[in-house]
């Protein structure tokens, strides 16, 4: 059985006309002899509207009920598309996460997939042409509905492709593939034909929402070829795949930015063993992801601790820190939400130096102050003021020669 997994995002399923385009793609693959598993997102804007509605009803919505609410977006998409597919003569049916089941842990709103019952799915594929699976959702071992984090339908698609050993996982979206930077921010962004899993992991983790980071982690782990392409054009898109020597020649392959950032500084905490643990352990226990961390050099037995988190977690984190004040003995807790991360990414950085200093020089030329710096083997990230994000992305993109072709040397 030749199995193809396709995932369609929110803009691709928004309304009847667009769903007809999806149907045409599904029919084409069916005629080519594939059995299809199609994962769908909620229509564009639906998940946001449901989340906003929940906040009208409750200042602090119960996480389990919130997941029950937001899964309805995908439920509507799969039901409507299955109707369309059946009317077109395909043997199709919808499947919600719990019906497969896609079993997850119980971390509501950001659950991780633990298991997918492939025996059942394969059995269902025997007498169906297309199974239409609700993206973004699963069920925990207590039978409660869960969701996989924003953008989680990508992960549903890749997890299904891995579990079913599909030939490829096609991710259909509103742009032609993965670009050197967000094409909606930088008009001369260039589409990449291929990108390595590691570079895609960094792009996703640094804010390029074209693929959810967990989907890339799974694709890398199970070696699933992922093709990102547009529902609306015939462009072959971008293949996310294993790194090869040709890719290593490329110094910088992309620029990412993430506006969902917030910087917190805890001033004058005691500079003694255990202080970092006292601050970050309760934050981690509350399920809050901390990104960049800087501890300043201590003076007179005191130091400052600065870190970044997602804006949605600001109030929760400040409340935790207030509670900790007597333990860590801090003088002041400051925060700034008008910050943004900009990252330069490329596997070539493993073997070439100079990218960081070039990035700092380029930002300096535009008079952009760097607030924090973080690096990995293949990435340099700077936290800057949010108002400079477009200028920074365009400057770095052009200076690293990404519009003309991949940069092979530092500018
Ligand atoms: P979908 O609803 O199909 O899942 P998303 O909105 O989640 O689509 O992701 C697609 C969007 O990702 C694009 O419209 C684009 O603005 C954004 N994006 C950010 N960085 C990149 C990049 N490097 N390449 C392509 N798209 C990017
Ligand atoms: N509907 C969910 C979201 O908006 C999941 C997805 O579209 O991938 O985040
Ligand atoms: Mg998405």
Specify the CATH number for the domain of residue 335.
3.30.2130.10
In a domain, 224, yes or no: no
In a domain, 206, yes or no: no
Q: Say how far apart CA 79 and CA 133 lie, in whole Å.
A: 9
> Quick one: 159 and 269 in the same domain?
no
> Quick one: 291 and 390 in the same domain?
yes
What sign for the dihedral angle of Cα 345, 229, 236, 132? positive
> Domain with 141 in it: what CATH number?
3.40.1160.10
Q: Is the CB of 157 under 6 A from ligand 2?
A: no
Q: Is 291 annotated as a binding residue?
A: no
DSSP state of 296: P
Between the CA of 384 and the centroid of ligand 2 the distance, in Å, is 28
pLDDT value at residue 329: 82
Helix (H) or strand (E) holding 24: helix 16-31
Pocket test for ligand 2, best of 152, 160, 169, 260 (most atoms within 8 A of CB): 152
Between the CA of 47 and the centroid of ligand 2 the distance, in Å, is 7
> Which atom of ligand 1 is nearest to 151's Cα?
7
> Looking at 127, 147, 174, which one is the last position of a domain?
174
Q: Is the CB of 97 under 6 A from ligand 2?
A: no
> Quick one: 169 and 252 in the same domain?
no
> Looking at 174, 200, 229, which one is the last position of a domain?
174
> Quick one: 36 and 163 in the same domain?
yes
pLDDT value at residue 407: 55
> Quick one: 162 and 15 in the same domain?
yes
Q: Is the CB of 230 under 6 A from ligand 1?
A: no
In a domain, 241, yes or no: no
Q: Say how far apart CA 6 and CA 160 lie, in whole Å.
A: 10
Q: Is the CB of 209 under 6 A from ligand 2?
A: no
What is the residue range of 350's domain?
246-411
- Tell me which ligand sits closest to the C-alpha of residue 172: 1
Written as tens digits, the pLDDT of the chain (411 aa) is 899 999 999 999 999 999 999 999 999 999 999 999 999 999 999 999 999 999 999 988 999 999 999 999 999 999 999 999 999 999 999 999 999 999 999 999 999 999 999 999 999 999 999 999 999 999 999 999 999 999 999 999 999 999 999 999 999 999 999 999 999 999 999 999 999 999 999 999 999 999 999 999 999 999 999 999 999 999 999 999 998 777 667 789 899 999 999 999 999 988 888 889 999 999 999 989 999 999 888 788 899 999 999 998 999 999 999 999 888 888 899 999 999 999 999 988 888 888 999 999 999 999 999 999 999 999 999 999 999 999 999 999 999 999 865 555 545
Tell me the C-alpha to C-alpha distance, in Å, between residue 47 and each of 51, 258, 283, 292, 349. 6, 20, 26, 28, 38
> Quick one: 260 and 130 in the same domain?
no
Between the CA of 257 and the centroid of ligand 1 the distance, in Å, is 12
Phi, psi (rounded to 5 degrees) for 171 = -105, 110
Dig out the tokens for 105 from the structure. 């842990």
Helix (H) or strand (E) holding 169: strand 169-173
In a domain, 210, yes or no: no
In a domain, 405, yes or no: yes
Edge-to-edge strands of the sheet including 169-173?
92-95, 130-134, 35-40, 3-8, 169-173, 226-230, 238-241, 194-196
Tally the domains of the chain: 2
> Quick one: 121 and 263 in the same domain?
no
Instruction: Compute the half-sphere exposure of residue 259: CA atoms within 13 Å on the CB side of its CA.
Output: 10
> Looking at 141, 174, 207, which one is the last position of a domain?
174
**Alpha carbon 70 to chain centroid distance?**
18
Q: Is 179 annotated as a binding residue?
A: yes
Q: Is the CB of 8 under 6 A from ligand 2?
A: no
> Quick one: 255 and 384 in the same domain?
yes
> Quick one: 14 and 162 in the same domain?
yes
In a domain, 102, yes or no: yes
């Amino acid at each position: 059985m030749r199995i193809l997994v396709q995932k369609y995002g929110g803009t691709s399923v928004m309304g009847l006309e667009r769903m007809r385009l999806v149907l045409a793609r599904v029919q084409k693959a069916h005629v080519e002899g594939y059995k299809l598993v199609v994962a769908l997102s909620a229509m564009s804007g639906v998940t946001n509207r449901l989340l906003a509605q929940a906040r009208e009803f409750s200042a602090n919505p119960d996480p389990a009920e919130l997941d029950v609410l937001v899964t309805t977006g995908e439920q509507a998409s799969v039901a409507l598309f299955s109707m369309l597919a059946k009317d077109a003569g395909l043997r199709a049916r919808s499947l919600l996460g719990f019906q497969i089941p896609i079993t997850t842990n119980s971390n509501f709103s950001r659950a991780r997939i633990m298991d997918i019952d492939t025996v059942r799915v394969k059995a269902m594929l025997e007498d169906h042409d297309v199974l239409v699976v609700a993206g973004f959702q699963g069920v925990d071992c207590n039978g409660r509905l869960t969701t996989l984090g924003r953008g989680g339908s990508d992960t549903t698609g890749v997890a299904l492709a891995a579990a079913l050993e599909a030939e490829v996982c096609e991710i259909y979206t509103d742009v032609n593939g993965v670009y050197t930077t967000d094409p909606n921010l930088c008009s001369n962004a260039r589409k990449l034909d291929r990108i390595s899993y590691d570079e895609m992991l960094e792009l996703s983790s640094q804010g390029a929402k074209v693929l959810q980071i967990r989907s890339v982690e799974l694709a890398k782990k199970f070696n699933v070829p992922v093709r990102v392409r547009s529902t609306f054009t015939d462009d072959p898109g971008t293949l996310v795949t294993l790194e090869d020597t040709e890719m290593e020649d490329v110094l910088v392959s992309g620029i990412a930015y993430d506006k969902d950032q917030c910087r917190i500084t805890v001033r004058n905490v005691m500079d003694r063993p255990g202080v970092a643990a006292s601050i970050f352990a309760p934050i981690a226990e509350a399920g809050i992801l901390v990104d960049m961390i800087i501890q300043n050099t201590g003076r007179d037995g005191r130091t400052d601790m600065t870190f970044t988190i997602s804006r949605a977690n600001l109030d929760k984190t400040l409340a935790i820190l207030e509670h900790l004040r007597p333990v860590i003995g801090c003088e002041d807790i400051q925060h700034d939400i008008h910050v943004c991360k900009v990252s330069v990414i490329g596997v070539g950085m493993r073997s070439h130096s100079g990218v960081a200093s070039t990035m700092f020089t380029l930002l300096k030329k535009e008079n952009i102050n760097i607030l924090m710096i973080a690096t990995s083997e293949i990435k340099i990230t700077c936290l800057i003021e949010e108002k400079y994000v477009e200028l920074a992305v365009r400057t770095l993109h052009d200076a690293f020669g990404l519009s003309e072709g991949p940069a092979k040397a530092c500018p």
